[in-house]
């Protein structure tokens, strides 16, 4: 099987091998999952898996099926409706942070998203542009141009972390601790020790957010969290419990996926030099290139869990009531039925923004998409503008990708580069 992963040719994998690889999340699979998804699209587009968390999950890999599933009300995001499966995977302590719009259905989801959307507006995001630029410049000032620097901890992660903390109103001296708890909550294992660390971090993060929200009530500062404390619509304001879980999902979703996406973009623009030259011709070309990178190597590999509220038939596969479902964003975005020559990075690909699924689709389309696009645009133009001759410290074959038991994110474990080869 190792040889199969060395090639983009999916014919070398059988359907059984592909399903086993996707379930086990082997190192070979994490290094290059695209042949596996190609095989599954052709031979088992709705594939039952037995992942490490121990709850059978159906994985959807074709583009048309993914679009339909992302908006299918029979596939619920309310994990309280799949309470046994939810507890087996995440444990009881996660409920305090997961009662938010990401894990809810209408009408609750509609209400939560409307209240958040009324204050998390494109205008508020655009107003952050000067501050995002300043944070970016400050981080680049701290990077030594000589020798090798790992951009993930030095640039890719701190940028979106500081931005989302600025947006929410998290004090600067509290950000590192909040990030550490968030990183632990975004678990990388399902064993007893990982569960203990998870529960401790969830409790600490919950207590911190309760305290932070109380401070915003006492001393409003105009940041997003302050606005959420007082925001309400015809159905009332957010409860304290909803405020905590909403603050958590914005903090988590607002930095980790963007951090990995910036890393993926830098890596592929360095590997594909011809595309890099095209990407920075002007602002329009850069915006188009960013959308193609979202398609080509999205940092969100698989959707968050859904569960079937009833038996759901997709193609010839019956997803039984109560079963967990994930949609492969990576698999769908490389479907040749949707994108011509999908394994080729083409920053001039037409109409890609309207087609790719990196931000999902339907009611749960990512509310933070405008912020992610803003950060990507500033991060990439600033980085490559300052260091146009930047190179990978090693070859593409040396890249180390995340190895996690059942991936939600697709990203690099490290990104060593030489900023100025001279």
Which string of DSSP letters, residue by residue, matches 235-262? TEEPPHHHHHHHHHHHHHHTTHHHHHHH
| 185 has a pLDDT exceeding 70 | no
Q: What does the pLDDT read at residue 6? A: 38
pLDDT tens-digit map of 331-382 = 999 999 999 999 999 999 999 999 999 999 999 999 999 999 999 999 999 9
Question: What pLDDT digit, counting tens, does each position of 86-113 carry?
Answer: 666 666 656 666 778 888 999 999 999 9
Contact partners, residue 281, CB within 8 Å, separation at least 6:
none
How do the domains of the chain map onto residue ranges?
Answer: 45-418
CA 128 – CA 369 distance, rounded (Å): 14
Residues 6+ apart with CB under 8 A from 133: 378, 382
pLDDT score at 254? 82
pLDDT in tens, 211-251: 999 999 999 988 999 999 988 666 678 888 889 889 988 88
Is residue 34 within 8 A of residue 339, CB to CB? The reply is no
Q: Considering the domain 45-418, what is its CATH architecture?
A: Orthogonal Bundle (1.10)
Task: List Cα–Cα distances, 238 to 205, 214, 215, 233, in angstroms.
Answer: 19, 14, 16, 9
Tell me the C-alpha distance between 192 and 160, whole Å. 31
Q: What is the pTM of this model?
A: 0.91
């Amino acid at each position: 099987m190792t040889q199969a992963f060395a090639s983009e040719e999916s014919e070398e994998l059988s359907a059984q091998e592909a399903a086993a690889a996707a379930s086990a999340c082997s190192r070979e699979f994490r290094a290059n999952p695209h042949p596996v998804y190609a095989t599954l699209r052709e031979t088992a587009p709705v594939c039952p898996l037995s992942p490490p968390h121990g709850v059978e999950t159906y994985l959807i890999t074709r583009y048309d099926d993914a679009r339909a599933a992302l908006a299918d009300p029979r596939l619920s995001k309310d994990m309280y409706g799949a309470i046994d499966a939810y507890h087996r995977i995440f444990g009881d302590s996660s409920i305090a942070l997961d009662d938010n719009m990401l894990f809810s259905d209408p009408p609750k989801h509609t209400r939560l998203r409307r209240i958040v959307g009324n204050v998390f507006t494109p205008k508020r995001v655009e107003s952050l542009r000067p501050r995002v630029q300043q944070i970016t410049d400050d981080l680049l000032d701290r990077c030594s141009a000589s020798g090798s620097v790992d951009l993930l901890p030095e640039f890719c992660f701190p940028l979106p972390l500081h931005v989302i903390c600025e947006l929410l109103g998290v004090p600067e001296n509290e950000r590192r601790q909040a990030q550490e708890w968030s990183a632990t909550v975004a678990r990388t294992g399902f064993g007893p020790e990982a569960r203990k660390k998870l529960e401790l971090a969830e409790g600490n993060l919950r207590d911190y957010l309760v305290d932070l929200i109380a401070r915003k009530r006492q001393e409003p500062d105009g940041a997003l969290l302050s606005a959420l404390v007082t925001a309400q619509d015809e159905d009332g304001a957010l409860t304290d419990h909803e405020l905590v879980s909403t603050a958590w999902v914005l903090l988590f979703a607002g930095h980790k996926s963007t951090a990995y996406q910036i890393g993926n973009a830098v890596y592929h623009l360095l590997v594909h030099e011809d595309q890099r030259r095209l990407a920075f011709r002007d602002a329009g070309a850069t915006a188009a290139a960013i959308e193609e990178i979202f398609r080509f190597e999205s940092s969100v590999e698989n959707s968050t869990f859904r569960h079937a509220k009833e038996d759901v038939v997709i193609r010839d596969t019956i997803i039984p009531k109560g079963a967990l479902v994930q949609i492969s964003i990576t698999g769908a975005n490389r479907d040749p039925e949707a994108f011509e020559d999908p394994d080729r990075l083409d920053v001039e690909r037409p109409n890609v923004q309207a087609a790719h699924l990196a931000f999902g689709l339907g009611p749960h389309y990512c509310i933070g998409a405008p912020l992610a696009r803003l950060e990507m645009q500033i991060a990439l133009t600033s980085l490559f503008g300052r260091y146009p001759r930047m190179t990978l410290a090693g070859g593409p074959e040396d890249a180390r990708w995340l190895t996690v038991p059942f991936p939600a994110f697709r990203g690099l474990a490290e990104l060593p580069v030489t900023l100025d080869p001279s």
